[in-house]
Structure 1
Amino acid sequence: MNYFSSNFKLGILGGGQLGKMLLYETRKWDIHTKVMDASPEAPCKIGCNEFVQGDLMDFDAVYQLGKQVDLLTIEIENVNLDALEKLEEEGLKVYPPTKALRIIQNKAKQKLFYVDQGIPTAKFQRFAYKSEIEDSVSNGGLSLPFVWKAAQFGYDGQGVKIVRKLQDLEGLPPGECIAEEMVYFKNELAVVVARSASGEIKTYPVVEMEFHPEANQVEYVICPARIDTKVAQKAREIALKVSEKIQQVGLLAVEMFQTQEDGILVNEVAPRPHNSGHYSIEASYTNQFEQHLRAILGFPLGKTDSKLPGIMVNLVGAEGHTGDVIYENMETILGKQGVTPHIYGKKQTRPFRKMGHVTIVNENVERAREIAQQVKEKIRVVSK
Structure 2
Amino acid sequence: MAKQISELKLGILGGGQLGRMLIQEAINYNLTTLVLDPDHEAPCKNLANYFECGSITDFDTVYKFGKKADVITIEIEKVNIEALEQLEKEGKMVFPQARVIRLIQDKGIQKQFFKENDIPTAPFQLANTKEDLLNSSFPFPYMLKQRKDGYDGKGVMRINTIADLDNAFDSPCLIEELVDFEKEIAVIVSRNSNGEVKTFPMVEMEFNAEANLVEFLISPSTYPEHVQERAETIAKNIAAALNITGLLAVEMFITKDGQILVNELAPRPHNSGHHTIEGNYVSQFDQHLRAVFNLPLGDTRAINNAVMLNVLGEKGHDGVAKYQGLEKIMAIDGVYVHLYGKKYTKPFRKMGHITIVDQNREAAIEKANLIKETLKVIS
Could you say which TM-score interval applies, normalised by the shorter chain? over 0.9
Report percent identity of matched pairs. Answer: 47
Matches within 5 A, 1:206-221: 206-221=202-217
Amino acid in the other structure paired with 1:297: F
Shift of 1:167: 4.1
In structure 2, distance between residues paired with 1:3 and 1:174 = 50
SS in 1 for 2:36: strand
TM-score normalised by L of structure 1: 0.96
Question: Cα offset for 1:297?
Answer: 0.3
Alignment of 1:44-63 (within 5 A): 44-63=44-63
Which among 147, 151, 155 is matched to residue 151 of structure 2?
155
**Aligned residue in 1 for 2:101:** 101
Aligned to 1:2: 3
1:23-73 Cα deviation digits (max 9, x unpaired): 001111111111000110110101100011111111111111111111100
Task: Give the C-alpha shift of residue 266 in structure 1.
Answer: 0.3
Q: For each residue in 1:247-291, what CA deviation from the matched residue of structure 2 results, as whole angstroms up to 9, or x when unmatched?
A: 111100000000112110000010000000000001110000000
Whole-Å Cα distance in 2 between the matches of residues 330 and 204 of structure 1?
A: 30
* 1:12–1:223 CA distance, 2 compared to 1 (3 A): same
Contact 2:324 2:375 in 1 (8 A): yes
SS of structure 2 residue aligned to 1:45: coil
1:267-278 equivalences under 5 Å are 267-278=263-274
Q: CA RMSD in A?
A: 1.1
The code of the aligned residue for 1:275 comes to: N
- CA deviation digits over 1:186-241, x for unaligned, max 9? 11000000101221100000000000111110001100122121111111111111
Q: Which residue of 1 aligns with 2:74?
A: 74
* 1:280-317 residue CA offsets vs partner (Å, 9 max, x unmatched): 00111000000000000011000000111111000011
Query: What SS does the aligned partner of 1:272 have?
Result: coil
Map of 1:301 onto structure 2: 297
Asked if residue 112 in structure 1 is aligned to residue 108 in structure 2, the reply is no
- Which runs of no fewer than 5 residues in structure 1 stay unpaired? none
Residue in 1 aligned with 2:12?
A: 12
CA contact (8 A) 1:3 1:31 kept: no
Are residues 1:288 and 2:289 paired?
no
2:320 counterpart of 1:319: no
Distance between the aligned counterparts of 2:72 and 2:319, measured in 1? 34
Partner Cα separation in structure 2 for residue 108 and residue 4 of structure 1: 37
Deviation at 1:20, TM superposition (A): 0.1
Instruction: Say if 1:108 and 1:177, in contact at 8 Å, map to a contact too.
Output: yes
- The match for 1:376 is 372
Q: Distance in 2 between the 1:92 and 1:169 partners?
A: 45
Does residue 1:336 correspond to 2:337, yes or no? no
Which letter does structure 2 place at the counterpart of 1:128? N
Letter of the structure 1 residue corresponding to residue 273 of structure 2? G
Determine whether 1:251 maps to 2:247: yes
Give the distance between the partners of 1:210 and 1:280, measured in 2 at CA: 17
Matches within 5 A, 1:69-218: 69-136=69-136, 141-218=137-214
SS in structure 2 opposite 1:258? strand
Q: Which of 263, 284, 291 is the equivalent residue of 2:259?
A: 263
- Superposed displacement of residue 170, structure 1: 4.4
Deviations 1:63-121 (A, max 9, x none): 11111111100011111111111111111110001111121110000000000100000
Report deviation, 1:166.
3.6
Give the drift of 1:371: 0.8
Counterpart contact for 1:37–1:53, Cα < 8 Å: yes
Instruction: Name the residue aligned to 1:362.
Output: 358
2: distance between equivalents of 1:172 and 1:51? Answer: 39
Moved more, 225-234 or 308-317: 225-234
Taking the aligned partners of 2:281 and 2:165, their CA distance within structure 1 comes to 45
Q: Choose the corresponding residue for 1:350, options 332, 346, 350.
A: 346
- In structure 2, C-alpha distance between the alignment counterparts of 1:145 and 1:345, rounded to whole Å: 40
Unmatched segments (≥5 aa) in structure 2:
none
SS in structure 2 at match of 1:234? helix
Query: Residue 135 of structure 1: CA displacement?
Result: 2.2
Alpha-carbon distance in 1 for matches of 2:341, 2:69: 26
Q: State the one-letter code of the partner of 2:40.
A: P
Does the 8 Å contact 1:284/1:306 carry over to 2? yes
Query: Pick from 211, 222, 226: which aligns with 2:222?
Result: 226
Letter in 1 for 2:42: A
How much has 1:357 moved relative to structure 2?
0.3
One-letter identity of the residue aligned with 1:30: N
Asked if 2 retains the 8 angstrom alpha-carbon contact of 1:149 and 1:178, the reply is yes
Provide TM-score, normalisation by structure 2: 0.98
Q: How many residues align?
A: 378
Letter in 2 for 1:306: A
Residues 1:348 and 1:172: Cα distance change in structure 2 (over 3 Å)? farther
